[in-house]
Amino acid sequence: MQRATHHQLRQTFRELLASDQCYYTASVFDPMSARIAADLNFEVGILGGSVASLQVLAAPDFALITLSEFAEQATRIGRVATLPVLADADHGYGNALNAMRTVVEIERAGLAALTLEDTLLPAKYGHKSTDLITQDEAVGKLRGALEARADSDMSIIARTNAGVLTTKEVISRAKAYQKAGVDGICMVGVKDFEHLEAIAENVSIPMMLVTYGNPALNDKARLASLGVRIVVNGHAAYFAAIKATYDCLREERGVAASELSASELSRKYTQPDEYRQWAADYMDVKE
């Protein structure tokens, strides 16, 4: 059976956005995980920015990974993927011109779609790690990203943080991004269905949520009825892989079993406290 082309996978992703269903993503982080996800009949995969940072750098999600490093990992996945894969492209690795370059590289890697967020990354001196760029700057980045596409079926999804904005501000950004021509709106930090409904009333394009398993949003049919087409519940598969690797190597060395969970092991080996201390020492960044 002939494999779908990258263009066909992008068309498949657009069909998911155009459907009346809600789909949960498979967290994919290398070619093997992409093949496993497809074999298990996941409709869509996601290469998370945080996961790429862990996989490539063994570093926490502090905007340390570069576009070239991220694109290399995306290319490895795109080479074998038989399901559409969405890239969490963070802030596009810079300004509007950098965001345009990001689109070119992710499209060349063979992925089906990407999200671009309006977080102020990397964090600036004296700022909070959750600060956002202005709405106008974000619109400029999105317009540039849309212009940079060679394949018009490559989906570009604008992402914003509903957890640090008022509902009015979220709606304002969603409307502006929608007007810019993006293919969907991604939100992180939506608290519950009441919060989502207030936003969804003002959005007429497909929505994507990053919920990290929030039980207050655990109703797939209701999400679908509100226009949510893609949900990222987290990256449990990657953390399970860390735990499995640790346990296998520990047993080979005859080391006693550890009570540390997968997420605790991740924190141990990425040393986030060290990075936070550096941020406090040299950047005075607030959490």
Q: 179: helix, coil or strand?
A: helix
Side chain identity at residue 47, one-letter code: L
Tokens coding 59 = 């570093």
The mean pLDDT of 271-278, rounded to a whole number, is 91
Place of tokens 């304002």: 172
The mean pLDDT of 267-274, rounded to a whole number, is 93
Q: What pLDDT is recorded for position 42?
A: 98
- Burial readout 144-163 (b: 16 or more C-beta within 10 A, e: otherwise): bbbebbeeebbbbbbbbbbe
H or E element: which one contains 172?
Answer: helix 167-180
Q: Determine what percent of the chain is predicted with pLDDT higher than 70.
A: 99
Query: If pLDDT is split at 50, 70 and 90, which confidence band does 19 have?
Result: very high
Query: If pLDDT is split at 50, 70 and 90, which confidence band does 210 have?
Result: very high
pLDDT, tens only, 108-143: 999 999 999 999 999 888 888 889 999 999 999 999
Nearest to 17 by CA among 147, 169, 196, 207: 207
Average pLDDT, the chain: 95
Could you give the domains of the chain? 6-235 (3.20.20.60)
Q: What pLDDT is recorded for position 67?
A: 98
pLDDT at 3 over 90: no
Q: What pLDDT is recorded for position 284?
A: 84
The mean pLDDT of 231-240, rounded to a whole number, is 95
CA distances from 226 to 175, 187, 195, 221, 262 (A): 16, 13, 12, 9, 33
Q: What pLDDT is recorded for position 2?
A: 73
Q: What pLDDT is recorded for position 1?
A: 55
pLDDT, tens only, 34-85: 999 999 999 999 999 999 999 999 999 989 999 999 999 999 999 999 999 9
pTM over 0.85: yes
